[in-house]
Amino acid sequence: MAGGRFSPALLVLLYHVLFGSSSFQPALVLDMAKILLNNYCFPENLVGMQEAIQQAINSGEILKIYDRKTLASVLTVGVQGALNDPRLTVSFEPNFVPVMPPALPSLPTEQLIRLVRNSVKLEVLKNNVGYLRIDQIIGEETATKLGPLLRDNVWNKVANTSSLIFDLRYSTAGELSGVPFIISYFSDPEPLIHIDTVFDRPSNTTKELWTMSSIMGERYGKQKDLIVLTSKRTMGAAEAVAYTLKHLKRANIVGERSAGGSVKVEKIRIGDSGFYITIPVARSVNPITGQSWEVSGVSPSVNINAKEAVANAQNLLAVRSAIPRAIQSVSDIIRQYYSFTDRVPAFLQHLESTDFFSVISEEDLANKLNNELQSVSEDPRLMIKLTQDHPSLHDMPKIPTAQEVGYIIDTLFKIEVMPGNVGYLRFDMMADIEVMRAIGPQLIKLVWSKLVNTDTMIIDMRYNTGGYSTAIPLLCTYFFDAEPLRHLYTVFDRSTTTMTEVMTLPQIQGQRYGSTKDIYILTSQMTGSAAEVFTRAMKDLNRAKVIGEPTIGGSLSSGTYQIGNSILYASIPNQVVLSAVTGKVWSVSGVEPHVAAQANDALSVAQRIIASRLLKQDKGK
């Protein structure tokens, strides 16, 4: 509705509606235009209107409408369309008697007190949550007059609560001049806050509303949680309160979109006809948004039937009251366990300065924490998860029974001896060392003995998303000689602050593949965790050629820690791996293959490479 000049297109529209279809007295139209010019709160939208009307009158193109009510509706459509403001209406009401609303301040104090008593309700709900319902926002003068009463019966009592539900669902009337009082109670004395700018067209004055440096009684301040309830009936000054608190990020709004009233609307008689025009004569502009609650209303943060708003607000307050503890707990966990100690101070600082105002559910909190941690760390392993079923914090691998062993080997391992005596070994999960020991003899018999005498081996890790890291040294050992023992990598564990050098094992069951035959490892973007560590170690020690896609990144162990006693869990990488070759920390990003290939093509690429090597060897002979 705001903005835009009285454009030629709108002029044409007004011209047709006003004059193309009416027998309205031209003088009356000019009167109406004058009223608009002197009273409409968007004068910038009226530029050129009067000239256009005059021109239309001169051209004399008039349709006759004799029914005045019909004429009034035609005019309403015209003026609303031309100015794009649904509040503008023209009516024909020859018997209209204007009613003046009673001026509150002029009422006797006794009556004022009764009025305030009837429109204010205060309770303390469980968990020391305050509930304050105000059905009429009183103006500046009344508020000043009733100061001590309000202080003793409302604000000082509210001040003792831990958080507040401020119910404006039934607030359908009120005065804008009372808004600064209310906002001030929910702000600090300093700095003063610019709340609203109100332009009044008839007086051509602009008034800024600010918070007040001194008010009677105790402030609620701006730290404690505040929720404002709205309904579709919430209107006028109450909307100004809700809109301001929302955009100051001082309150979350729960309920329905508010009515979308106006600062001030007047019904003005056109000349001395029986026609009236209803005009918004003042407008409000919020300094933060540059817009207003007028017409479009205040949209809630939690959109819910007004009837359910109190219960919802109580739940919301419970969620929000857990936020500080959750942040503290996440900070503690990171400080204690995160493997990259040099990054910890930046995390803690970032968490401290993060604004959690918009968090309205545990899911929100998890997402917010996740996004914030990711944005500082760029470490995809650092995660906050929300889960209803408690993840096992120390999941112990299950040792299979004798009957289960055959089944496990069957489902876990896929082997083949390909042409050229090339062994192919695929397994999709890294089993725990205890499990490996349990299935060892069978594994050697059913799987390993068929591959160990091949000339070249392809190890397919494309579908291996990881598992336990305990068996990595055992697995690696098969691809090295018994002497000397090889240093595979070093693990630094944050939770125990120990450094462990991981070595090949001196003794294993079965035959070794040895250190001289070629090995190719196939990877995909899914290759992760322990599978990635195996791949990286083999690459690091120059023992295998890696073909495929870069692996998922991250590798090695993350601990899962409960955040406070909530349903949120933090997954924190608590180990760092140092390369045995360079002594430097392994990158958190994935293993780069020697030969890049789509995961689907990796096997055939490996086979081609092996075939061409065999060809060269043959030629060499």
Ligand X SMILES: *[C@@H]1O[C@H](CO)[C@@H](O)[C@H](O)[C@H]1NC(C)=O
Residues that bind ligand X (CB under 6 A): 156-157, 160, 204
Taking the least distance from each CB to ligand X, the nearer of 151 and 335 is 151
- Main-chain phi, psi angles of 89, to 5 degrees: -140, 150
Q: Please tell me the distance from the alpha carbon of residue 89 to that of residue 189, in angstroms, as a whole number.
A: 43
Lateral strand order in the sheet of 383-386: 383-386, 568-573, 558-562
Q: Please tell me the distance from the alpha carbon of residue 71 to that of residue 506, in angstroms, as a whole number.
A: 103
Taking the least distance from each CB to ligand X, the nearer of 204 and 497 is 204
Q: Please tell me the distance from the alpha carbon of residue 185 to that of residue 178, in angstroms, as a whole number.
A: 12
Taking the least distance from each CB to ligand X, the nearer of 7 and 156 is 156
Q: Please tell me the distance from the alpha carbon of residue 320 to that of residue 357, in angstroms, as a whole number.
A: 9
For residue 543 the two structure tokens come to 């023992």
At closest approach, how far in Å is the CB of 201 from ligand X?
9
At closest approach, how far in Å is the CB of 159 from ligand X?
7
Taking the least distance from each CB to ligand X, the nearer of 93 and 266 is 266
At closest approach, how far in Å is the CB of 197 from ligand X?
13
Q: Please tell me the distance from the alpha carbon of residue 375 to that of residue 384, in angstroms, as a whole number.
A: 13
Please give the DSSP secondary-structure letter assigned to residue 127.
G
Give the start-end residues of each E strand in 421-567: 422-427, 456-460, 487-493, 498-503, 518-523, 545-548, 558-562
Taking the least distance from each CB to ligand X, the nearer of 151 and 517 is 151
The one-letter code for the residue type at 270 is I
- Among residues 561, 543, 404, 418, the alpha carbon closest in space to that of 494 is found at 561
At closest approach, how far in Å is the CB of 156 from ligand X?
5
Taking the least distance from each CB to ligand X, the nearer of 160 and 496 is 160
Taking the least distance from each CB to ligand X, the nearer of 202 and 550 is 202
Query: b/e per residue, 82-95, with b = 16+ CB within 10 A?
Result: bbebebbbbbbeee
Give the start-end residues of each E strand in 494-567: 498-503, 518-523, 545-548, 558-562
Taking the least distance from each CB to ligand X, the nearer of 157 and 350 is 157
At closest approach, how far in Å is the CB of 124 from ligand X?
9
Taking the least distance from each CB to ligand X, the nearer of 204 and 214 is 204
At closest approach, how far in Å is the CB of 31 from ligand X?
17
Q: Is the peptide bond before 94 cis (omega within 30 degrees of 0)?
A: no
At closest approach, how far in Å is the CB of 283 from ligand X?
14
- Sign of the Cα pseudo-torsion (234, 236, 241, 246, in order): positive
Taking the least distance from each CB to ligand X, the nearer of 165 and 242 is 165
Residue with tokens 């003042």: 282
Q: How distant, in Å, are the alpha carbons of 107, 119, 142, 150, 179 from that of 111?
A: 6, 12, 11, 15, 22
Judged by DSSP in three states, 61 sits in coil
The answer for residues whose C-beta is within 8 angstroms of residue 500's C-beta and 6 or more apart is 490, 491, 492, 493
At closest approach, how far in Å is the CB of 202 from ligand X?
10
Taking the least distance from each CB to ligand X, the nearer of 68 and 157 is 157
The bridge status of strand 136-137 relative to strand 173-174 is parallel
Q: Please tell me the distance from the alpha carbon of residue 239 to that of residue 172, in angstroms, as a whole number.
A: 9
At closest approach, how far in Å is the CB of 160 from ligand X?
4
Taking the least distance from each CB to ligand X, the nearer of 32 and 435 is 32
Q: Any bridge partners for residue 498, and if so which?
A: 493
Whether residue 173 contacts residue 197, with contact meaning beta carbons closer than 8 Å, is answered with: no
The one-letter code for the residue type at 544 is A
At closest approach, how far in Å is the CB of 110 from ligand X?
24
At closest approach, how far in Å is the CB of 161 from ligand X?
9
At closest approach, how far in Å is the CB of 117 from ligand X?
17
